[in-house]
Structure 1
């Protein structure tokens, strides 16, 4: 069965995802503006308490921009991975690259060990997703093999294209190459009409944000007139129907 993951940014989004039948959520903040950043431990704990079938996958990313991280940024992410798992996350969504765009294997390994160590503390297996830094790698098949060797659970990818519907050919190739050794999760620009074609590639899961913009003027000290991103129930419902079809 193809799984459905909804990217959410608040507790209401987690509730909508559960009520409409999604399998799990990726939790982050500032999604539209940055591509997603680490949520607070309080938010992780509150969303974990909602009780989705496959829980909360917590994005750990300290800033927008490049996926090449310095020593301080790596230390922060290792601490955030441990904190996310202790707060109730069933998985973490992580990644990092070298200057030449390859998977930063030592860092990816350290992230995995931090997640598993925290999981042992709380008596819970922890899933490891390598995020869309994967799409920046020059050789996705080599990157996939490296992540398999490190014990990663899944890769979130658009097939190296600007969006997943444009990367269908490569997604099929990645799913074939993975051969069940690691999950391929299609994400990035997924629309409801594109879900059937994405499922046909053989990917294990589909990921979308299902977000809408809501007016919420904060004044000069609260972000001005920038709208707030909320999870749209109708889009989640339609995505669940498309994935289950």
Structure 2
């Protein structure tokens, strides 16, 4: 596996997750699990050897009955070609090598096995990002890493093909949560275990003046009807381990029916 720049302080990530409130802080995971279960119900397949990759095993173990639940560490505890379903649950945004994570899931699939990942997308917390960035520039004259970078849907969808999965699909489900104050949002992020675990983060507490100014900017810019919104973008990635039974794209130039005939319309030849 290739060496990638280190993004995440794994010790800090483990600490943040250990401090998460599993009773009140898992509502986004609950929403993701419900969406995963709904999507699985639409797949005409009974899965007998599922696996789930996650940083919150006690939350995700109810996603699929009798699934093997493993931690989303660098080397996944999955054996080759042992599972007909692998789910990656809301952890790819902290992975130093997200392609490597998907490749490992792909290798764990039996032929024609199904892969489904849910991860946070690039629009997640865009309001908080903007407010913190402007406040820090105003107060300190600089910027520091505060929120994990999250991929756009097009880039994340491309990871499926790079991992060798067939019939890849990527789609997005945006969620908006409203709060009375930005402080309430920040408290919720800690309860989710989603505090700053970036390896290049500041190693001392953020100046209170920065946080106060960020809250002012957040309220001034985004408050609506007395509450402030926080956007969470859930991106779903699906693909299949290749198998000869799957539909295959036609070879270019092999079509036997003209498009004009299929559409019952006249063909207009363009001038040369």
TM-score (ref. length: structure 2)? 0.30
Larger relative contact order (C-alpha < 8 A, sep ≥ 6)? 2
TM-score (ref. length: structure 1)? 0.33
Tell which structure's C-alpha radius of gyration is larger: 2
* Structure showing the higher helix proportion among its residues: 1
